[in-house]
Chains A and B, each alone.
Chain A
């Protein structure tokens, strides 16, 4: 068991990385009052855009991640046009985006089915990576894992300490009041939604250019939906989202090491664990109605027409 621990923990960080990106993006969108259920679709669009860019240019994740972010942002802008400018039902628009994204990514992805990418070498931090147990876990990861922590810090700081964060929360809690004072509610929501799309796109591109690294149809396999559930689990707080992502990363990675740990369990049960865990954490957090009511952005899911 102890031999496996560094391996499992290091894997946990990598498996959590797409959840952190996608989850933070959705968290920002939801704090502005918009629920976007299209995360799964945006992740897949980001995954194929990132993979295509990386494969065509030969520059790997360095070009794949920005390409994924752009594609995810563009997909989110389409969602925004329907859900914000036309004030259509947000949940249904998100679903449309997911169905569209699954189709579009599979359509483009047919050209890239047999490709594989080199992936990324870990960035080894000198000295620190020699610390027993924690060293290889924390200081021997690819740069995107570190980037996810930087993104977390940025989002947490922006929400807690900046004017922009305050504005975002105001728009999510009381759009009428924010509008009356003269803030552009729809523009701010567009910004939050597009940011969420870019983050989901990065999450998808990480999967296709670093984590796997190849293109497989439907490769996000529900991670986008888990990210949406994580935001609820985190009661819309970045720190809890980070912890939740690591919890899910751990559950995800466990299946690859179950055999080594001597567990005789069907692979399908292990593969189903993250989805089961999602239901369990949703139930645990939702049963406390007061907790949810206190933290839920007051205008979440309600279209705004000035």
Chain B
């Protein structure tokens, strides 16, 4: 049962090849799964990973799905480095969507150029607020952020459901739990005719560069990392632990909130009960797969977007339920963690 023994030095090679090994293992087990279901693995992979990218429209859809994943993962990576495990980004995304969406519903018709910027700011605030609650509970009452962030996700879905069944429901929507479609002033402008990709892309690009600079250059980022890797050293150096908690949770809440606005003021175009197909959870995998590195996350987010896109394609042409996306996501994280074990360890050479 003891498969591993520690390496003398952590393997830098493994650190960067682990994601590739994880992807390969996921594809291998995935093809076994397809085969067991009586589908040709080759054809399935073609449907899943190649066909979605054979058209310009497909690439635009890939970007649309990659944007929220990359944005949320950038924020989460800050906390993960400091070992602050925010697993409730999904709830923070919903709160961001609600804060931004409220403005979209009630002021969208004004046509003002300020509506969209106001939605973006409100969304960031809403997500930050939903991240600040677990930060308060952790710093003040020592409550585990894993559980509180997750519970707050459930509560956010109930708030969304309450508003969608009541005050914010479209009065002419035949009682469907959804808001009015937003007016143009409350939507991101499309970047090209015939494609859904929109100007929220600039926010994501800006965020990637900002997080890259922050991680590479700032003293605060260094303090966060020391706090995560060597808590005792961080305490000795006098780095404030509470500040780390607040910063990690508020920043990751903010990026999730921004992603929420990106969805409702983008491809979704309204508030409804299906704002996000689990982007907040998938972004956790993206952050780790991207090695908590701003540029690595871009690659990982694009791959995860392809898994989402492939899942949709498999639903249409292979009659498979969209839940197959979740199976792939879970496998990917498992294999990544397994491969990561070989950074600090190696296979035992002989039994002791």
Contacts and interface: CB of A to CB of B under 8 A. Distances in A.
Contacts of B2: 85, 186, 305-306
Given A82-B338, A103-B326, A232-B147, A96 B161 contact: no
B142 A289 contact: yes
A271 B320 CA distance: 32
B330 to A, nearest CB: 2
Contacts of B320: 107
B338 A275 contact: no
Q: Which of A82, A101, A269 has the most CB of B within 10 A?
A: A82
B19 to A, nearest CB: 14
B3 interface: yes
B345 interface: yes
B330 A103 contact: yes
A100 B326 contact: yes
Contact of B137 (A37, A85, A283): A283
B336 to A, nearest CB: 8
Interface stretch (A60-68, A86-94, A128-136, A155-163): A86-94
Nearest to B80: A92
B327 A93 contact: no
Q: Which of B6, B151, B327 has the most CB of A within 10 A?
A: B151
B288 interface: yes
B147 A228 contact: yes
A122 B175 CA distance: 39
A87 B345 contact: yes
Given A86-B4, A88-B338, A95-B284, A100 B143 contact: no
B230 interface: no
Contact of A269 (B140, B162, B324): B162
Nearest to A278: B151
Given A82-B334, A92-B333, A268-B159, A107 B1 contact: no
Contacts of A278: 147, 151
B3 A286 contact: no
B148 interface: yes
B141 A104 contact: no
Contact of A103 (B161, B285, B323): B323
Contacts of A106: 321, 323, 326
A272 B161 CA distance: 11
Interface string B151-164: 11011001101100
Interface string B1-29: 11111100000000000000000000000
Contact of A95 (B87, B143, B148): B87
A282 interface: yes
A93 B334 contact: yes
Nearest to B140: A287
A11 B154 CA distance: 23
A228 B147 CA distance: 8
Nearest to A40: B150
Contacts of B159: 268, 272
Given A92-B288, A266-B166, A279 B338 contact: no
Contacts of B1: 84-85, 184, 186-187, 190
Interface string B315-334: 00000110111111111011
Contacts of A186: 1-2
A78 to B, nearest CB: 7
Contact of B334 (A96, A110, A187): A96
A96 B323 CA distance: 15
Interface residues of A, number: 56
Contacts of A58: none
Contacts of B329: 99-100, 103
B147 A101 contact: no
Interface in A252-306: 266, 268-269, 271-272, 275-276, 278-279, 282-283, 286-287, 289, 292, 305-306
A229 interface: yes
A43 interface: no
Contacts of A107: 320-321, 323-324, 326-327
A19 to B, nearest CB: 15
B222 interface: no
A97 interface: yes
B130 interface: no
B212 interface: no
Contacts of B325: 103
A266 B162 CA distance: 8
Interface in B26-42: none
A157 B345 CA distance: 39
B178 to A, nearest CB: 16
B249 to A, nearest CB: 14
A225 B4 CA distance: 31
Q: Which of B6, B285, B323 has the most CB of A within 10 A?
A: B323
B112 interface: no
A102 interface: yes
A186 B323 CA distance: 33
A221 to B, nearest CB: 8
Contacts of A190: 1
Contacts of B340: 88-89
28 contacts: A82-B334, A85-B2, A86-B338, A88-B340, A91-B146, A96-B330, A99-B329, A100-B327, A100-B331, A102-B326, A102-B330, A104-B323, A106-B326, A186-B1, A186-B2, A190-B1, A222-B151, A222-B154, A229-B147, A229-B151, A278-B151, A282-B147, A282-B148, A292-B142, A305-B4, A305-B6, A305-B345, A306-B2
Interface of A: 37, 41, 78, 81-82, 84-89, 91-93, 95-107, 110, 184, 186-187, 190, 217, 221-222, 225, 228-229, 232, 266, 268-269, 271-272, 275-276, 278-279, 282-283, 286-287, 289, 292, 305-306
Given A37-B146, A107-B326, A107-B327, 14 more contacts: A82-B334, A85-B2, A87-B4, A92-B288, A100-B329, A100-B330, A107-B323, A107-B324, A222-B151, A266-B166, A268-B161, A271-B158, A276-B155, A283-B143
